[in-house]
Amino acid sequence: MSGEAPAPAAFRGSGPFLRTAPPLWLPLRHFALAAAALLVFAGGVAWRGADLVGFDFDARLALGLVHVLTLGWVAQTILGAWCQMLPTHGETPLAFPRAAAAGWWLFALGATAYVGALWSGVERYWIAALAAAGGISLELFALAVTHARARKRDATWRHFAAALGWLAALAAAGVLLAYDRERGLLFHDPQGVLIAHVHMALVGFTATAIYGAGQRLIPWVALSQIRGRWAGRASFVLTQAGLAGLALDGLFFGRRLMPLWACLIAAGFVLYALQLGPLFRGGATFEPSLAFTLLSFAGGVLWAAFGLGLAFGRFTDAGPARAAYVWAALVGCITPMILAQVHKIAPFLVWLHVYSPRDWTPPIQVPKIDDLTSRGLAWFEVFALAVAAPLGAAGLWLERGGLVRAAGCCLFTAAASYAWNLGLALRHVVRPDARWTRPATES
């Protein structure tokens, strides 16, 4: 009859999109292990934070905890996100998924053995580091081939390509450094090599990867790229040039121009942050992912301030300043940006694979991605991390063990809340919610 309302349209599933997506278990196992690593790190700081005062990379406890955070939390989260983003963004299936899966196992076992060897006092801990690097190499091979086959090559592609290159260099330098620390044959300036290694990890691999993902996941940065803003391109060039100069200077040239390289990297960070300009002109909904993003940039200011102070000799280049610098980078800047992005990626993956593949015809309900996690828990993560970041930096800088332990407790609270929130999303893989798999009850 002409007077009848048209029947509601069916919601079409994401079958075409799923054709390039990897198996769900591959990125999710990375995220699960990463959440466990963050809990271990935060628990270790809460328990033994007083022993981290006077931080030194020769201290086995500190070195082990740093690698729990970097190899476990940071690297696992980024590699898991790449398993999803490189195929879908590049519009090509993941190459050699079995190699990626084998690499995950080798990496997880090798990294665990490496940290265990550090904490137990085993001398040849470089053997476990070699196993972890072998796992990274397998995953890197699969991801690099996938990236090379990408049909879409934009700012995100360039960032990911650079981060993949830095990850390869980082893995090689890490094994050589672990081997040479017992012999002193390869490098004449161990401190310079350590500085190069740390910054290849923090800036080259981690920051480049998450800022590349931000080109798609941070709406204001993505809008800036669409409009062809110069700030994004200049940020990438300055950051990569500064890091390349710093790494070469630290490895081979005696750290002669460190202030120059620090200024280039800091300028790249400032230009990237300028892309958030439209955010402050209003219209944005203040939600947890945005709060994490802003918290990350605030931590980045602290990180840059410590870095410039060390490069120009304003701070004594000793344990307290180095510890505060590393904490500001990993906990103050990188961790909140990772949380901002993984809070979008993980629930989306679950929704995509569990609720999207089929067509839904009313009165079947389609869930929202936000329905899979708890916004309240996410806000709890934001507040706990907002306290942990400056508190830990202050405690390490002032060598106050009580402050460091308090920061560890706050970070553990944030980590536990995140792990619970991730579990809320993952439970839908095991048991989809009946509200969204059967017709809604007629009112």
Two tokens, residue 255: 């750290």
Q: How far apart are CA 175 and CA 128, in angstroms?
A: 9
124-154 exposure pattern, b = at least 16 Cβ within 10 A, e = fewer: ebbbbbbbbbbbbbbbbbbbbebbeebeeee
DSSP tag of 356: S
User: Which regions of 12-109 does DSSP assign to beta strands (E)?
Assistant: none
- Are the CB atoms for 345 and 209 separated by under 8 Å? no
Q: Pinpoint the alpha helices (H) of 190-318.
A: 190-199, 208-217, 219-226, 230-252, 258-274, 288-311
The low-confidence residues of the chain, meaning pLDDT below 50, are 1-13, 226, 439-443
| Exposure of 252 in the CB half-sphere (CA atoms within 13 A) | 5
**What Cα–Cα distance (Å) separates residue 96 from each residue in 160, 299, 359?**
18, 37, 30
Task: Give me the pLDDT at residue 24, please.
Answer: 87
Give the residue from 272, 284, 213 showing the smallest Cα distance to 238: 272
In DSSP terms, 364 is beta-bridged to 439
In DSSP terms, 11 is beta-bridged to 360
In DSSP terms, 351 is beta-bridged to none
Q: How many CB atoms lie within 10 A of CB 185?
A: 8
Q: How far apart are CA 332 and CA 388, in angstroms?
A: 8
Give the residue from 84, 333, 98 showing the smallest Cα distance to 203: 333
Q: How far apart are CA 301 and CA 270, in angstroms?
A: 9
- Are the CB atoms for 216 and 156 separated by under 8 Å? yes
Q: How many CB atoms lie within 10 A of CB 9?
A: 8
Helix (H, G, I), strand (E, B) or coil at 95: coil
Task: Give me the pLDDT at residue 329, please.
Answer: 95
Q: At what angle do helices 319-327 and 375-398 cross, to 10 degrees?
A: 170
Q: Is 369 exposed, middle or buried (0-12, 13-18, 19+ CB in 10 A)?
A: middle
Please give the CATH architecture assigned to the domain spanning 16-354+367-428. Answer: Up-down Bundle (1.20)
Name residue, tokens 């005696």. Answer: 254
Task: Give me the pLDDT at residue 333, please.
Answer: 95
- Per-domain boundaries in the chain: 16-354+367-428
Say which residues have a Cβ less than 8 Å from residue 109's Cβ, sequence separation at least 6: 131, 135
Q: How many CB atoms lie within 10 A of CB 399?
A: 17
Task: Give me the pLDDT at residue 47, please.
Answer: 92
Two tokens, residue 266: 């800091």
Q: What are phi and psi of 6, to 5 degrees?
A: -65, 145
Q: Can you give the pTM of this predicted structure?
A: 0.87
Give the residue from 233, 243, 232, 311 showing the smallest Cα distance to 274: 232
- Are the CB atoms for 401 and 327 separated by under 8 Å? no
Residues constituting the chain = 443
Task: Give me the pLDDT at residue 228, please.
Answer: 53
Task: Give me the pLDDT at residue 12, please.
Answer: 43
